[in-house]
């Protein structure tokens, strides 16, 4: 059965993957709400922007009046909430935007959703879903080498970013408990893949290497992350919003734990194969690796136990880290126009769909 799914942050990295998946692989109608801040890029949606099943709304989730208008116009049967400020370093330098978007924005969206949902007829009210997409960073970090984050792991956020996401998770669960709003929450591990904004580790390393610039690695690079290919994540999210049980939380991970230094070295080795014509002065890409002062409060290890979503919904990732990172490096080599426009800022001049 087709649904009308309202996606917030649908021009962002994960959000655009969700929108592309919905339009290309399902019969659902999609409404995309995005404020188009620096990380929102409509050029990531060029392949589906002309679809009659796709609708774009240039709206800030903190704008209650605009949200009400969108709800009344689009008439969603589900909301997938991905809009968020998400970069840890930026949250350390300027936490205010993270408090505003991730906490106040989520509250404003919850209230707009509740007002809309409460006026639906009984059947539509029962079928409605609000899916909040969060991060494993709300759990803090893991001390042991064998421990995993589960859906019951206590929250212990370390950065302004993860603290703001933890707060938004609590708000969503409170609206379900207090008002009966039919919510679901997912917490994911580190995503990577096509259309990733260049400030994040993997695209930053790829593009710096291609330019012959240093490849900065925090500390000694021993921090461990569980890597999830973004298209695997998009499939999981759509499965949760359509098949998940109201009130439940599902952790989504890639089963791919890697030290940061391993990730950087793997990218360098792939570039040796896929981009052998190096910048002037570069003998091998690994020579560009540069260790820099660690970030404050840097979590040592994240790792997701994704057995619940596999057991209850049958989802498993299709990509290993080895297959996913090869696809990712190849995509950046083949889509120079996309990332050059991001680096130059020209992408912000694009306003497709308005």
* Residues 304/253, Cβ–Cβ less than 8 Å: yes
Catalytic residue among 34, 85, 136, 305: 136
Tokens 């589960």, residue?
Answer: 150
CB atoms within 10 A of CB 191: 23
C-alpha to C-alpha distance for 73 and 204, rounded to whole angstroms: 39
161 is annotated as an active-site residue? yes
List Cβ neighbours of 2 (8 Å cut-off, separation of 6 or more).
Answer: 26, 27, 28, 29
Tokens 């690695």, residue?
Answer: 217
C-alpha to C-alpha distance for 302 and 159, rounded to whole angstroms: 14
Q: What is the DSSP string of 236-305?
A: HHHHHHHHPPTT-EEEE--S-EEEHHHHHHHHHHHHHHH--SPPTT-S-GGGGEEEEPPPTT---B--B-
Catalytic residue among 34, 43, 137, 231: 137
Catalytic residue among 116, 161, 195, 285: 161
| H-state helical runs in the chain | 13-25, 64-74, 88-93, 96-98, 105-117, 122-127, 160-179, 201-210, 230-243, 260-274, 307-313, 321-334, 336-344
Residues carrying an active site annotation = 136-137, 161
């Amino acid at each position: 059965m087709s649904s009308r799914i309202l996606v917030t942050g649908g021009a962002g990295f994960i959000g655009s993957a969700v929108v592309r998946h919905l339009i290309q692989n399902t019969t659902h109608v999609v409404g995309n709400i995005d404020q188009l801040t620096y990380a929102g890029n409509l050029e990531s949606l060029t392949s589906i922007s002309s679809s009659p099943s796709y609708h774009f709304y240039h709206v800030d989730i903190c704008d209650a009046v605009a949200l009400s208008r969108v709800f009344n116009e689009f008439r969603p049967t589900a909301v997938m909430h991905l809009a968020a400020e998400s970069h840890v370093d930026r949250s350390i330098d300027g936490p205010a935007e993270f408090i505003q978007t991730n906490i106040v924005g989520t509250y404003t969206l919850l209230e707009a959703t509740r007002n809309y949902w409460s006026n639906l007829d009984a059947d539509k009210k029962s079928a409605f879903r609000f899916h909040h997409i969060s991060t494993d960073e709300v759990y803090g970090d893991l001390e042991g080498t064998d421990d995993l984050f589960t859906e019951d792991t206590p929250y212990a956020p370390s950065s302004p970013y993860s603290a703001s996401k933890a707060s938004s998770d609590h708000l969503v669960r409170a609206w379900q408990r207090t008002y009966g709003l039919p919510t679901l929450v997912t917490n994911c591990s580190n995503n990577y893949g096509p259309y990733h904004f260049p400030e994040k580790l993997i695209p930053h390393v790829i593009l710096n290497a291609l330019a012959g610039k240093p490849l900065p690695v925090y500390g000694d690079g021993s921090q461990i992350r569980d890597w999830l290919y973004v298209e695997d994540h998009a499939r999981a999210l759509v499965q949760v919003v359509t098949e998940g049980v109201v009130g439940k939380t599902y952790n989504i991970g890639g089963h791919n734990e890697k030290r940061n230094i391993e990730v950087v070295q793997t990218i360098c080795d792939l570039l040796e194969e896929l981009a052998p014509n190096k910048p002037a002065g570069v003998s091998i890409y690994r020579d560009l690796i540069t260790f820099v002062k660690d970030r404050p409060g840097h979590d040592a290890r994240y790792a997701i136990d994704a057995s619940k979503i596999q057991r209850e919904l049958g989802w498993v990732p299709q990509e290993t880290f080895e297959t996913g990172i090869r696809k990712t490096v190849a995509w950046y080599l083949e889509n120079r126009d996309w990332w050059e426009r991001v680096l130059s800022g020209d992408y912000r001049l694009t306003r497709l769909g308005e």
